[in-house]
Amino acid sequence: MRKQKYFQKGQSYFEKGKYQEAAIEFTNSIKIDSGYADAHFQLAETYLHLQQGNLAYKELTRTLELRPEDYKARIDLANLLILGHKLQDAQAQVDLLLKKRPDDPGVHVLAANLLAVQGKILDAIAEMQRGIALDPGRWEPHLSLALLQVKNLDFAAAEASFKKVIELNPKAMQPHLALGEFYQSQKRFGEAEQEFRSALAIDSTTIGPREALARLYMAEGKKADAEEVLKQAVHDLPHNPDSFLALSNFYYVTGDLDKSVAEYHALFLERPKDLVVRKKYIELLLQAKRYDEARSLNDEILKANPKDDDALVNRSQMQINSGDVSNAEQTLQAVVKDVPNNIQAHYALGVAFQKQGNLTQAVSEWREALRLNPNFLDAQRAIADATMHQGDMNGLQDAANQMIRLQPGSPEGYALRALANINAKHYPEAEQDVRRAIAAAPQSVLGYVQMGNLRFVQKQYSDAAKAYQEALDRNADSTDALRGLMNTYVAEKQIDKAIAAANAQIQKSPNNSRFYELLGSALVQGKNDLSGGEAAFAKSAALDKNNSDAVIQLCQVRAARGEIDQAIATGEQSLKDNPRQPNLYVVLGDLYELKSDWKKAEGAFQSSLALNSQNPVASNELARVMLQTGENLDVALSLAQKARAGLPNSPGVADTIGWIYYRKGVYPLAITFLKEALDQQEKNKLPDNPDFDYHLGWACEKAGQPALARQHFEHVLKIRPNYPAAAEIKNELSHLKS
């Protein structure tokens, strides 16, 4: 029969590891007979190997519709649900299997996997041991047991389980690698090397044992030995693209991007028609910012196949780099819709959201990428960066630890963990990580920047400046290094030296938009030079039209100079280039407020929230505008409370909530929040805001506290005699009792 012919051909491809070809044959078999359960199941297994979980789920579900008693399919389906964190659905499958197949060791292993994901490690260990007792000769459950025992910090038991795995399957490579990684985590480096070399002796044709050895040497600080192992891999495995990739990755993580590209270029020349090799080479060219070469090669792929999702992702990255973020987002939204398991697409979409100021959506996409591949370093790096900017130092430390686990030879993880320790005032630990970062990649700026940060918080300003300068000597475009150097001079009250440092670096990198932004900030904040600051911010924005931070500061400086209309025009022009930048709408709303154009201000804040509904500043500002226009106070209160969730210590948000309660006639609550606004203002050492005293004065007056009302009204006139409501306050003071 034709369906069996296709099925047998698919089986042949499957056994050879040719999963794409196998999928085609199994699909052909199903087209002839849609009720062919064996073909549905084998197609599901094929999709699992291709890491296409959604398609595998569909085929496993169809298999069980046709053959409900297929317990192998049910176990696979449950494992897939666990991987997708659909734990309630997975639990239903596990409960059914335990009831129907209580003596099946595979069912108990499955149950243990679910318990482990739920965080019930001791229960998972007990369940795994039940499975092993039913079939003690299988090595895979012993390996799972060892990993669970590691999670339970029972290292002696874990080591015994790892050794049992090797005893049961002495000719398998993977158990030796697992035991070696265990020894490495325990810093038993000699034993780890022995296990990795045993794995290499068992199978010298794969890259895995060699990469493990290289990672071990990097963890020991033996960079030259790690490089030699990977060079030998290229020599021994000249036709294996993984060997070239391993050496290329080594150079990449140690900061030598040119060598990284050169190594993979050799493989590309050997295999110019190999699509996998071509795509990886394009990725490296993008990382090296060789965009023209990358674009040319990528366009060839899209010409042959306009729907190639990897090539579309690469094109989106080039769009992001050229400032075309909106079109990049549209491209990536289409890719994740068509191919929801494309990890790179989720990562790149996160970058697009980040560029548009939507960090919540960005982190969501990066976490989805990590769900699909927990070892995806780029997503872990992006989350680390997000936690850093959010001030979440515990989250930063966790992310940094994961980065170190994935790439112990890279300076990034150590540098980020150092930053977390600096913020936690764990200075000895920070120093250790800084030195590890520098040792891992002496040519990288990362370690030197964190050395500067460490010395800065220790108030060793001379050493801090030296470290930041060493970073700039290695990378003249490092914004972090220049910012640190300038902050050091400011801390020493040497603003002229900070400005000179910015100008000196601009001479070396005249097209760096961020450098002009730093110069503008120093001129405005340090010298009150609004004219010079305006020129610097304008230059910054001209060099990079997507630098919304520079545009926002340019608008603010022009507003401070009384040029409100020009500031508004600047913001509106920038929105034409950055239509999905929520913070630009916020600054425009503020500018419209200065003109008392409440309708346009409200529209601007609503536009910001339409792009990022979690923006607390926009929520608070919109609530304030609604107070001016007399709109629904309950809606305004809801917005202000949402803002408070994002900015719990903001005096401005507390003032907004207090004033809303005043307008609602709930004076005790109004006083509570308005007093909190003043307390937070003092705690954060902010300049006195007369609005806070003005609002609290009226709340006290309504609550029958005339002495307090007088005190706050008088303070308004003291700090700002020409306050807009000064006449109203004086009139009220004439009626208040002392």
Q: Residue 731 maps to which CATH number?
A: 1.25.40.10
Unique residue bearing structure tokens 């609604």: 626
Is residue 659 in some structural domain? yes
Residues 699 and 667: beta-carbon distance below 8 Å: yes
CA atoms within 13 A on the CB side of 61: 10
Is residue 689 in some structural domain? yes
pLDDT interval class at 737 (50, 70, 90): low
End-to-end CA distance of the chain: 103
Is residue 733 in some structural domain? yes
Which percentage of the chain shows pLDDT scores above 70? 99
The set of residues, in sequence order, having a beta carbon less than 8 Å from that of 144 and lying 6+ positions away, is 109, 112, 113, 128
Is residue 127 in some structural domain? no
| Residue 159 pLDDT | 94
Instruction: Note down the domain range covering 654.
Output: 649-738
How does pLDDT run across 676-731, given as a tens digit for each residue? 999 999 998 889 999 999 999 999 999 999 999 999 999 999 999 999 999 999 99
Least confident range of 140-144, 260-264, 281-285, 315-319: 260-264
- What's the CA angle centered on 700, arms 699 and 702, to 5 degrees? 65
Is residue 690 in some structural domain? yes
Residue 255: pLDDT above 80? Answer: no
Is residue 642 in some structural domain? no
pLDDT interval class at 323 (50, 70, 90): low
How far is it, in rounded angstroms, from Cα 712 to Cα 658? 15
How many domains, in total, are found in the chain? 1
User: pTM of this prediction?
Assistant: 0.61
Is residue 218 in some structural domain? no
Closest CA to 42 of 70, 83, 68, 81: 70
Query: Using DSSP, how many helices (H) and how many strands (E) does the chain show?
Result: 43, 0
User: What element of type H or E holds 557?
Assistant: helix 548-560
pLDDT interval class at 243 (50, 70, 90): confident
Is residue 688 in some structural domain? yes
Residues 45 and 72: beta-carbon distance below 8 Å: no
How does pLDDT run across 426-463, given as a tens digit for each residue? 999 999 999 999 988 887 899 999 999 999 999 999 99
25 vs 324, residue with greater confidence = 25
- What's the CA angle centered on 370, arms 366 and 374, to 5 degrees? 155
Amino acid occupying residue 151: K
In angstroms, the Cα distances linking 167 to 137, 170, 186, 285 are 10, 6, 21, 45
Q: Which pairs count as long-range contacts for 595-600, CB under 8 Å and 24+ apart, including other chains?
A: 595/564, 595/568, 598/625, 598/628, 598/629, 599/629
Helix H, strand E, coil C: the string for 161-223 is: HHHHHHHHCCCCHHHHHHHHHHHHHCCCHHHHHHHHHHHHHHCCCCCHHHHHHHHHHHHCCCH
